[in-house]
Structure 1
Amino acid sequence: MKKDVVVLLGLILIFSCSPERGKQIGVTNVTKWKDDKKTAISITYDDGTINQFTVAKPIMDKFQMPGTFYIITGKIDGSQKGKFIGRPKEEIIEETKFTETNESNFFERASLIGFTGTTEGPDYHSRVGSLFEAGKIEEAYKLLDEGYSKIRTGEIKTLENEIFHHNSVDTTTWQDLKKYASEGHEIASHTVTHPRLAVLDEKNMVYELKQSKQDIEKFLGEKYTFSAECPYGTENERVMEYAHEIYPSLRNRMPEPYLEELNRSSNINPGESKKEYVQWQRGPLTNIGLDKMKEWVDTCVSHDNIWLVLVFHGVNGIGWEPRTGKELEDYFEYINDRREQIWVATFADVTKYIRERESAKIESVVNGKSIKVTLSSNLDPNVYDVPITLKTYVPKNWKSVSINKDRVIDEVKSDSLGNYITYSAFLGENEVILEENR
């Protein structure tokens, strides 16, 4: 929907402009993207592996591009670790000897198997979860029975470390992450141990979601608990219901009526969507050429409603489907060369901006030689803290505009409706006064 305002006309000075253009004076709307850009791109990384920070982040810093890093908190020193919450594991394992896996015991067993302290336990958990989400329920039951049979008979070895996705080279600390956050990057949750949330029982699912959030809040602050990514890109309805109660925003799912989501597996052309916004996720896997990745950017620039969300994992050989630092440098330079049209921002900031724009109510009063713009919204301005960009039409003879007497906009632009300026404002700002700057 177009975010035009209600224009309340008070005592209006007669300006030297045509009636058609003159009647636009004072009309204010929120531009679709920050700074009136053509599109938005969010560069996100999953798993928090070391080369994301030592190789990819410096390249992004070079181009002044903020990134979003979804981290597995359980592998960072000082955090609460992964664990199974429930009955004694020996009791559950013993029961698998006599009772096959079924609907009544599946979630408990799938939750435990990764924490049996065995070499193949996490892998069985992951494969069982993949089958379950693919709708292959009976196959998931049988695979779980196979795993527990091997555990009972000692076919798979016992380990001390029970943390999923543990990697000895991932030495990033909370102190490091705090520094990265202070530099403008978003550090966000990817759960405690990166499990298949769809096959966890309620207690263990909630622990994975909440404990990760609590550790991030403890070490980085509440600001970084806004968005999360549930592992494996799950869109399981049960998981989404729980996760949306804990996090304001999920990269997995944003059920907004004005936004169409095209996930990484989608082959739908985003340019065909009639929605106000399209969140278009693309996974730059190892076998995808840079030319194809650059086409994604070109597609966004050729429309005005597409938000490209890039989902990276491995970098320089560490992590799943890795890209090289050289490839990233080439790609990010391509994006940077088009920054006049592209707003590059974190996943949280783009989410906030879109919601702020959709919720904003604006009234504009033209009175004498000033224009008063009043903002209101039902969102919490302490959380929704990304400045929105306002576009206000001004009299033709205004060559420079003063905003609240403390900012001056010298660039007055023009379109088919008249002369206008763009400027930033916060939801909590409430009132903005525009005057001709003499």
Structure 2
Amino acid sequence: MMNFNKISIIAVAMFAAGSAYAQNAEIGTWAGFRKGAASFTFDDGAPSQVSDCGPVFDKYGYKATFNLVYNWNPNWSGFQSMADSGHEIASHSNSHGNNMSGEEASSKTNIAGKIKQKYGIITVAYPNCNVPNERSVLQNYIVGRICNGSWQGMSDIMGKNGPSNWAKTPAIMTGSEGQIRSTNDFTGQMQKAAQSGGWVAFLTHGFQGKNNGYATYSPTDLSAIEGALKWAKQNDKDIWVAPMGFVAMYIKERNAAKIEGQTGSNSMTFELKHSIADNVSKYDYPLSIRVKSDWSKVEVTQNGAKIDSKIESGYIYFDAVPNGGKIVVSNGNASSGGNGGNGGNGGSVT
């Protein structure tokens, strides 16, 4: 009887150790475990967005969303180059009529025929901020953008779970006709997003003194945006700046994902999964993970490929793709790898 009890205690202890690693695996509310998120969106496909705006974002290592009108024949090669560098190209309809009802699917198809990018055309911004057929929007896009939420009785800054209706995602108008004109105006909104743990988006057309083509409404001082990006870079630990579609994917994946793990003496193995299924996206945007550990050196792989990681304040940090294969965290100081068979179930932290 004594031997049985000892074996039982050992088994429970081993299971608990395995479970502890899994329970200590957390999914960040925002990428990099930052406090809030911000997205810059630009409408109408202005020439200045390619020649002037894109380079400013690239200078600081940030990416934005550019919403194109298909029939206005924007600089397709220029916007393709921007997509190649990580910016998001999105739909702003075929014709920019007062309401784009009937163009939800065709504008997506038409623009996708001109622009090739990893996640496809997953974002739409409505001309004149008039919401078209919501069902058609959500059948073709993961996010549909309006103008200021406060113009429709909603908050301008969203919470950590995004808008209550993904066909009505707010963005604050900038420029001469909007309330966001200076660097301080931009940074003030980003500070509010970080303080509340939320997400703010901005809506811009052309720029003061630039070649704006059709994007003549409410020109914005580009130097005000550059000042905001400089501030964001200085406060990178607090604010995540990313395209609207990417932030939307992150939120939806994070809310649907769970992480399960098991451990051996010198390695931890996890699986990051969600079951989102639609015809719009694979929802394979990387999620930020951290695992509590006292290891001082590690190597992290997913599906056999090495991924970047760092150790900070007792946590191992890395980004992993949901449904992208097993994640293995190995103790870099171990003389030989271990792979015990005792596992436990973890949970998502959002």
For these two proteins, the number of residue pairs brought into alignment is 304
Identical-residue share of aligned pairs (%) = 21
Could you tell me how far apart the structure 1 residues matched to 2:16 and 2:229 are? 50
Name the counterpart of 1:83.
none
Could you tell me how far apart the structure 2 residues matched to 1:308 and 1:194 are? 25
Which of residues 41, 45, 51 in structure 2 aligns to 1:44?
A: 41
Higher radius of gyration, 1 or 2:
1
Counterpart amino acid of 1:285?
G
Name the counterpart of 1:6.
none
Q: Are 1:26 and 2:22 an aligned pair?
A: yes
Could you tell me how far apart the structure 1 residues matched to 2:91 and 2:322 are? 26
Counterpart amino acid of 1:390?
I
Q: Deviation at 1:364? A: 1.7
Could you tell me how far apart the structure 1 residues matched to 2:325 and 2:108 are? 31
Which of residues 282, 285, 293 in structure 2 aligns to 1:386?
A: 285
- Whether the 8 Å CA contact 1:11–1:368 is kept in 2: the answer is no
Query: Cα deviation per residue 1:253-310 (whole Å; 9 max; x = unaligned)?
Result: 9xxxxxxxx7252676678x87644666311231634233321111122232x11111
Q: Are 1:226 and 2:122 an aligned pair?
A: yes
Give TM-score scaled by structure 2 length. 0.76
Q: Deviation at 1:58? A: 1.8
Name the counterpart of 1:282.
172
Q: Residues 330 and 193 (structure 1 numbering): CA distance in 2 closer, same or farther, change over 3 Å?
A: same
For 1:219, what is the secondary structure of its paired residue?
A: coil
Counterpart amino acid of 2:194?
V
Which of residues 230, 234, 249 in structure 1 aligns to 2:143?
A: 249
Could you tell me how far apart the structure 2 residues matched to 1:10 and 1:369 are? 19
Which of residues 184, 187, 193 in structure 2 aligns to 1:294?
A: 187
Could you tell me how far apart the structure 1 residues matched to 2:40 and 2:154 are? 21
Counterpart amino acid of 1:227?
T
Which of residues 421, 425, 434 in structure 1 aligns to 2:316?
A: 421
Q: Residues 270 and 365 (structure 1 numbering): CA distance in 2 closer, same or farther, change over 3 Å?
A: farther
Q: Residues 286 and 332 (structure 1 numbering): CA distance in 2 closer, same or farther, change over 3 Å?
A: farther
Name the counterpart of 1:95.
none
Query: Cα deviation per residue 1:26-85 (whole Å; 9 max; x = unaligned)?
Result: 321211111111111111011112222222222112112111010111111xxxxxxxxx
Counterpart amino acid of 1:283?
M
- Whether the 8 Å CA contact 1:216–1:224 is kept in 2: the answer is no
Which of residues 8, 12, 15 in structure 1 aligns to 2:14?
A: 12
Q: Residues 372 and 209 (structure 1 numbering): CA distance in 2 closer, same or farther, change over 3 Å?
A: same
For 2:93, what is the secondary structure of its paired residue?
A: coil
Counterpart amino acid of 1:40?
A
Which of residues 333, 342, 349 in structure 1 aligns to 2:246?
A: 349
User: What residue ranges of structure 1 are gaps of 5+ in the alignment?
Assistant: 1-8, 16-21, 77-171, 199-204, 254-261
Could you tell me how far apart the structure 2 residues matched to 1:383 and 1:221 are? 16
Name the counterpart of 1:168.
none
Q: Residues 410 and 175 (structure 1 numbering): CA distance in 2 closer, same or farther, change over 3 Å?
A: closer
Correspondence list, 1:183-198, <5 A: 183-197=85-99
Query: Cα deviation per residue 1:307-364 (whole Å; 9 max; x = unaligned)?
Result: 1111111212541000123333223322332223221111111111111111112212
Counterpart amino acid of 1:251?
R
For 2:94, what is the secondary structure of its paired residue?
A: coil
Name the counterpart of 2:131.
235
- Whether the 8 Å CA contact 1:300–1:307 is kept in 2: the answer is yes
- Whether the 8 Å CA contact 2:159–2:199 is kept in 1: the answer is no
User: What residue ranges of structure 2 are gaps of 5+ in the alignment?
Assistant: 1-10, 164-168, 334-350
Q: Which moved more, 1:286-295 or 1:337-346?
A: 286-295
